[in-house]
Amino acid sequence: MIGTFLQEEQKEMVPSIHDSSPAIFERLTSHCDKYQMFPLQEAAEEDSPEFSWGAKKGKGALNKDVQFYKSFTYAGVEFNLYDCVYMYRHGEEEPDIGKIVKVWETKTWKRIVKVVWFFRPTELTHWLGNIKVLGNELLLASGEGVGLSNCNPVEAITGKCNVVCISIDRRNPQPKDRDLETAEFLFYRTFDVGTQEISEKFPNSIAQIEVEHFFNKVTDLKQPLHYGGKGSLDKPHSFGGATVKTTLKDDQPGRNTQSTLPPVTLVKQTKSSTKTDQCTTISQCQVTELVEKELNKVPISLGRQGRQGNVSETDKTVARTEVKHSFCTPSTNAVKKRKLQDLSDTTPFDQHKVMKSTSQVIEVTTRVKEGASTWFKERPWNDRLQEAQERGTLVLLENLDPSYASTEVEDIVKHALRQTVSAKMVQHNTFSNPLNGKAFLIFKSSEAAETAIFELKRRCLMLGDGRPVVARKGTIQDQVKSKDFPGHLSIGKLKFQKLGEEMRKAVSTSHYAQSNTIEHELAVEWRVLQEQSSLWWKALRQEQAAEIEQLNSKLKNPIKNSV
């Protein structure tokens, strides 16, 4: 009997997630009701933040005592109808985001707002499955049912939220790049709470409010901005390649209806680290950089080009980066073209040349495998490592480019230190430094190894992208032959003989944890710890990367790799 608490009798090892989907959805939407329990008396307390009504909208049709409003000021911030706000849910860390669709005051002076909810992608993983989502994407609730909207007291609002709609629906005014930059969240899809479907089509009304109110506010300038205005093809050279240009011409009267359009822009924008060191972090550069890389996507910079007429209005910095940007793209293109030509012209497979392009720079070419060295490769790597450590011929190289192949490392050592070695890159795991590649080298003799370490310590061997190679004596630990693994528990008292064949099998076979067992609760605790630890590592690596970047910028003449 006891055993069943720990391992369910599982005829079917894999539980179907679909069984629990109503449960997930209930959990998701039950929180909406929690707001109703928010004590409304708090509105009357003296120490609540300041509140004042704004413009009136009209009285209720049914109930004359209800007064609707268009705006209000709460805690010093002005909220208008159809603004997006953060609403704090007691006990949750992340606030919910909703759009105010109605504001009113009841006859007992209670101030209520009705909000239509936005879902975070994490709340909808079951329905999203493998579909990619943008980093700061939300999904608008639509349809009929629980979870669409709630009426909450004004006091539940914790702040304004900047949500921009990037849907290409023709009723939606397209956001400017500036809006995209300052947007905290984006949305272009809806989640129907009744049919539980995700769709990019917007219905005509949501929660009895016309859908136009959910799109971006129409600015006083013009109607929904259509791209592909006449001036948009002025600078064809700032696009990536020939194919891009032609597609531009084909789709001339601008509005392209590819649904891949929005995600492409914004994926790049939400990434915080970029590999380019030529363009700054202004979104325009990122957008077109992406365009270069993915030539088959119709360029979003159509939108950018539409603004070129307004360059004088925007910031000087923006204009400068735009100019700078139009310089940086042709050069990167040129570099790419040149590289391809180089490869076809030169003969990199000419084995014995070591080309010195600048005074000290050595170009590492592939070396020929000497016939005599084939015996070198025969024994399995693990044994050789052990032996090398004993004999003192093992060296660990660090700060290599992590994408090097082992043979490339061997070539580098051959050219730089004039030594033939056997090298293998160390495999990365979840806590390896993503910027830093390591390799084990086995030298032919311990003296060779020591001189190499000494040389690398004393002088600086720089790799192409400004990394000095760090070397030290290699040490490897023996594989610990323990059977214990923290987290795998067993109850000492349970006598396995009593359990029987089936029980024993159930322990050792792989399975999902059923959600009503103790096993599941314990497993969830482990998952939490796992996620925590990955966050720690992420934070550490970010800091370390920043330090390296700082130093890197101080280097005066790094020779950039083509990689």
Using CB under 8 A as the binding rule, whether residue 273 contacts another protein is answered as no
| β pairing state of 185-192 and 137-142 | parallel
Q: Of 27-35, 110-118, 203-211, 491-499, which part binds another protein (CB under 8 A)?
A: 491-499
What would you measure as the largest C-alpha separation in the chain, in angstroms?
Answer: 99
Stretch 279-308 residues interacting with another protein (CB under 8 A): none
| Closer by beta carbon to another protein, 197 or else 549 | 549
Stretch 135-154 residues interacting with another protein (CB under 8 A): none
Q: How far is the CB of 240 from another protein (least distance, A)?
A: 18
Q: How far is the CB of 22 from another protein (least distance, A)?
A: 16
86, 158 in Cβ contact below 8 A?
Answer: yes
| Closer by beta carbon to another protein, 280 or else 399 | 399
Say how many Å lie between the first and final Cα of the chain, rounded: 62
Using CB under 8 A as the binding rule, whether residue 18 contacts another protein is answered as no
Stretch 382-421 residues interacting with another protein (CB under 8 A): 382, 385, 398-399, 402-408, 411-412, 415-416
Using CB under 8 A as the binding rule, whether residue 133 contacts another protein is answered as no
Using CB under 8 A as the binding rule, whether residue 332 contacts another protein is answered as no
506, 513 in Cβ contact below 8 A?
Answer: no
| Closer by beta carbon to another protein, 292 or else 398 | 398
131, 182 in Cβ contact below 8 A?
Answer: no
Q: Cα separation of 138 and 128, whole Å? A: 12
Which SS3 state, helix, strand or coil, does residue 350 take? coil
Q: Of 231-239, 282-290, 326-334, 529-537, which part binds another protein (CB under 8 A)?
A: 529-537
Q: How far is the CB of 308 from another protein (least distance, A)?
A: 34
Q: Of 72-80, 216-224, 250-258, 502-510, which part binds another protein (CB under 8 A)?
A: 502-510
Length of the chain: 563
Binding mask 421-450 for another protein (x = CB under 8 A): ---xxxxxxxxxxx-xx--x----------
| Closer by beta carbon to another protein, 264 or else 559 | 559
Which SS3 state, helix, strand or coil, does residue 544 take? helix
Angle between helix axes 406-417 and 446-458 (nearest 10 degrees) is: 80
Q: How far is the CB of 424 from another protein (least distance, A)?
A: 6
Q: Of 42-50, 68-76, 144-152, 483-491, which part binds another protein (CB under 8 A)?
A: 483-491
Query: Using the rule CB under 8 A, which residue among 9, 17, 78, 276 binds another protein?
Result: 17
Q: What sign results for the dihedral spanned by CA atoms 415, 421, 426, 432?
A: negative
| Closer by beta carbon to another protein, 39 or else 486 | 486
Q: How far is the CB of 258 from another protein (least distance, A)?
A: 23
DSSP 8-class letter at 358: S
Query: Using the rule CB under 8 A, which residue among 21, 63, 533, 542 binds another protein?
Result: 533
266, 187 in Cβ contact below 8 A?
Answer: no
Q: How far is the CB of 28 from another protein (least distance, A)?
A: 14
Using CB under 8 A as the binding rule, whether residue 523 contacts another protein is answered as yes
441, 409 in Cβ contact below 8 A?
Answer: yes
Query: How far is Cα of residue 196 from the mean position of the Cα atoms in its chain?
Result: 26
Residue with the two structure tokens 């002088």 = 459
Stretch 503-522 residues interacting with another protein (CB under 8 A): 507-513, 515, 518-520, 522
Q: How far is the CB of 438 from another protein (least distance, A)?
A: 9
Question: What burial class does residue 302 get, using C-beta atoms within 10 Å of its C-beta: 0-12 exposed, 13-18 middle, 19+ buried?
Answer: buried
Using CB under 8 A as the binding rule, whether residue 500 contacts another protein is answered as no
- Which residues sit opposite 358 in a β-bridge? none
Stretch 108-127 residues interacting with another protein (CB under 8 A): 125-126
Query: Using the rule CB under 8 A, which residue among 273, 482, 495, 501 binds another protein?
Result: 482
Using CB under 8 A as the binding rule, whether residue 209 contacts another protein is answered as no
DSSP 293-317: H-TTSPPTHHHHHHTGGGTTTS-HH
Which SS3 state, helix, strand or coil, does residue 155 take? helix
| Closer by beta carbon to another protein, 312 or else 427 | 427
CB atoms under 10 Å from CB of 542, counted, come to 12
Residue 306's closest CA among 176, 188, 173, 215?
Answer: 176
Stretch 451-480 residues interacting with another protein (CB under 8 A): 459-464, 467-470, 476-480
Using CB under 8 A as the binding rule, whether residue 234 contacts another protein is answered as no
Q: How far is the CB of 528 from another protein (least distance, A)?
A: 9
Query: Using the rule CB under 8 A, which residue among 39, 76, 91, 486 binds another protein?
Result: 486
Read off the amino acid at residue 115.
V
Tokens of 44: 């009357």
CB atoms under 10 Å from CB of 167, counted, come to 22
Stretch 336-375 residues interacting with another protein (CB under 8 A): 339-340, 343-344, 347-351, 357-358, 360-366, 368-369
Question: What burial class does residue 15 get, using C-beta atoms within 10 Å of its C-beta: 0-12 exposed, 13-18 middle, 19+ buried?
Answer: middle
Which SS3 state, helix, strand or coil, does residue 243 take? helix
Q: Cα separation of 232 and 300, whole Å? A: 11
Query: Using the rule CB under 8 A, which residue among 51, 454, 496, 536 binds another protein?
Result: 536
Q: Of 236-244, 284-292, 306-314, 485-493, which part binds another protein (CB under 8 A)?
A: 485-493
Q: What sign results for the dihedral spanned by CA atoms 248, 252, 255, 259?
A: negative
| Closer by beta carbon to another protein, 108 or else 429 | 429
137, 186 in Cβ contact below 8 A?
Answer: yes
**Size of residue set near another protein by CB under 8 A:** 124
